[in-house]
Amino acid sequence: MSDKLTPLDAGFLEVEDSDSHASLAIGALVIAEGPVPTDREFLERLSSRIRFIPHGTDCLHTVPVDLAAPTWTADPNFDPARHVMRIAVPSPGRLQDVAATVAWIMSERLDRDRPLWQCWLIEGLEADRWAVLTKAHHSLVDGVSGARLFDVLFDSPPESEPVGDNTTSTSGTASEKSASLYSTFIGVSTAALGAPVRVSRQLLRRAAGFAHLLGDVLTPSRRTTLIGPIGSQRRYATANVRMQDVKAICSTFDVTVNDVALACVTGALRSLLLHRNEDPDGHSVRCLVPVSVRTPGGDVSPHNEVSLLLPFLPVDVPDPVDRLQVIHERLSRYKRGGESRSGHFVTTLAQYVPFVSSAWFVRLAARVPQQSIVTVVTDIPGPTRKCRLMGREIVSIYPFVPIAVRLRLGFALLSYSGQFAFGITADYDSVPEIDLLPTFLESELRILVSAQESSVREPDDTTESGP
């Protein structure tokens, strides 16, 4: 295992260093029922399994003025007790109360003098429930490698699988956590400095996709209140729908799970814009959709291995079914055009130049207000069957995606045992209406389910009314 961070891994650190309001940790809220384990029980579980997390006992070693990439070094004073915290939510312990606690915890940056992860035991939930919030820096894990945290916690290591049918993945695995916009800029700025001939040939093959991706990055979205400066505090909300309903929609309209998820987000953002008396223009919401580029069946590397798509979400389309079809067509066109691989290829170019060049470019780019990307929608691999945590049944799992670089909203998706969960992250000051978004998301899915059921009944009605 390499102890050196890749340019993409280090890019998350550089963006965080350049933006005092960014905290680039990803997370998952695991809700279980039954008695809350004691601190001793929980520490014993972590102590016996933490070695399975790559660099779980390592801390960062950086080089002055970024002359070389950061490396992972063993923490000589590692103590799992420093990484486990306990907190209680206010009575009555509703999910909204837990979400407020999650937002507070995830707003705080991790201590870079320690291994970059935490586990929070959250007690006081209604219906005799409790929760664990896992928190890890994006430079340490991404969506696929971060799923190993489930292996550490759960009683028997579950097999994590993609949210849907891998339709936003070029390799057959799930899409990953949000990719940094400025990691793309790293490759753009350094490509001209020279690379091996094999890289140049790949660049020529991907020229069309690369040009389209670069155009997306540099083309600003129409101005709305969904993009702009953000503070350091966050809001968090959750929504939950049935995976059975999502799959029925996919089957009837010949679309993918990711298409349905994006359609729900699109409908929710359209409703939010209308709620704010703003025009839902077709070029007002460009979305960052991370794409896995891992090799199918290969070892899960701890490094971030991700590309991206940057489609406009059709918030201007009033009909939910029409929105779903437009999203399906746009994503299919992006994948045919090669954009889904081009983003990853561009970021790898930074490996062929001195680290100091890419690091300082990311720092510079992070200080320039980007005007293109408005939100991020990413899916996380989740267990497909019921799991238990220290003998207690896990009821639900909700993901958390960080926001930065003027993105005021982010959406993470995770499927677990027949559930399809949304985790919504928002800037505290600019999105006070976050509690409306779960309602908007669930309402959008209900409309699609109703359209799906009507579409299924229509052939039967036609048959019965025939001669």
Q: Please tell me which residue in 138, 303, 328, 344 is annotated as part of the active site.
A: 138
- Give the separation between CA 462 and CA 457, rounded to whole angstroms: 9
Count Cβ atoms below 10 Å from residue 433 Cβ, excluding itself.
Answer: 12
CA distances from 414 to 39, 131, 377, 398, 409 (A): 28, 17, 11, 7, 17
How would you label 210-246 residue by residue, b for 16+ Cβ within 10 Å and e otherwise? Answer: bebbbebbeeebbebebbeebeeebbbbbbebebebb
Q: For residue 57, count other CB atoms closer than 10 A to its CB.
A: 18
Decide if 144 contacts 294 (C-beta within 8 A).
yes
Q: Are 148 and 158 in contact (CB under 8 A)?
A: no
User: What distance in Å separates the CA atoms of residue 13 and residue 28, rounded to the nearest whole number?
Assistant: 20
Backbone region of residue 78 per phi and psi (left: phi > 0; alpha: psi in -120 to 50; beta: other values): beta
Confirm whether 138 is a catalytic residue.
Answer: yes
Cβ–Cβ < 8 Å for 87, 101? yes
Query: Which residues are the active-site residues?
Result: 138
